[in-house]
Amino acid sequence: MNQPDKEATFSIVIPSYNRKQTLRLAINSVLDQTYPYWELIIVDDGSNDGTAEMLKDFQAKDSRIKVITHEVPKERWVSYLDGYRAAKNDWILSNASDDEYIYAYLEQLNHCIKKYDYKIFYYGYSYVSLESSWERPVKELVEDPDPNWGMKHYDHGTVQGMCSVAFHRSCLDAFDGVPMIENFYDLADWFGKRVDQYWQERGLEGQPPIHYSNDDKWCGNPWGDDYVFSWLLTRKYKAKKLDIRPTIAYDRTQDWLYERAIISGTMGI
């Protein structure tokens, strides 16, 4: 597909492990985008639930869908890195295998990319359960006054995960030197040292508010990689907060999400 000049191109990375049914809905939410200039990179992290066969069907229908396959599970952290480094387009996005995009998401980002001169954008998301839905706001980061640094330090919880971050591919160097760790608790150990190093390099007084280690409840868990990625990006680059909520996250504690996903799959949706 020919791309008009000055229109952004997007690489969307979705790691997945044994979530065939909800992954189908996540993929469809990309296919439903009104904006056409994208590639979708699915990183199948050693699934054994028929994900590979389903992805072949999707690829036969749309050449913009790419698949990276791990023969054995390597954890989401490694899957994200593999997907980011395989990205061919200018802007890189992420999504979870059980979340969905609103259909105008890429249109919104394309508009903002042309309007604001930033390499990183961040925003909130919408959360849905059977009894409520609400918008998850995100706190605004503070730019570091030193032009050699990106944003000021923030702790876990200030920025929602990578599903609410868009970054230009030129920012991939923020991940240089990151080890391909396959255990999140070892990742927390590495990250704790990285935060300490930043604190010293930036000449900040005292100690970091949180010392990340392998027994830390925030960074040493399967969701801590979101914070690690966003923190690394914003140490080096300035970032712009957008007032959009393009991702729909569903309550993962309720069985209805997975039950309906299975029914949708049997109906070919």
- Residues 118 and 141: beta-carbon distance below 8 Å: no
Residue pointed to by tokens 């994208």 = 38
Report domain extents, the chain: 10-263
Paired sense of beta strands 38-45 and 10-16, if any? parallel
pLDDT (tens place) for every residue of the chain, 269 residues total: 556 668 999 999 999 999 998 999 999 999 999 999 999 999 999 999 999 999 999 999 999 999 999 999 988 889 999 999 999 999 999 999 989 999 999 999 999 999 999 999 999 998 888 888 888 878 889 999 999 999 998 876 666 689 999 999 999 999 998 888 777 778 888 888 999 999 999 999 888 887 777 776 666 565 678 888 999 999 999 999 999 999 988 876 666 666 665 656 554 54
- Level-2 CATH architecture, domain 10-263: Alpha-Beta Complex (3.90)
Distances (CA, A) of 43 to 52, 62, 82, 206, 250: 10, 17, 8, 40, 21
Task: Return d(Cα 125, Cα 135) in angstroms, integer.
Answer: 6
With 0.85 as the threshold, say if the pTM is over it.
Answer: yes
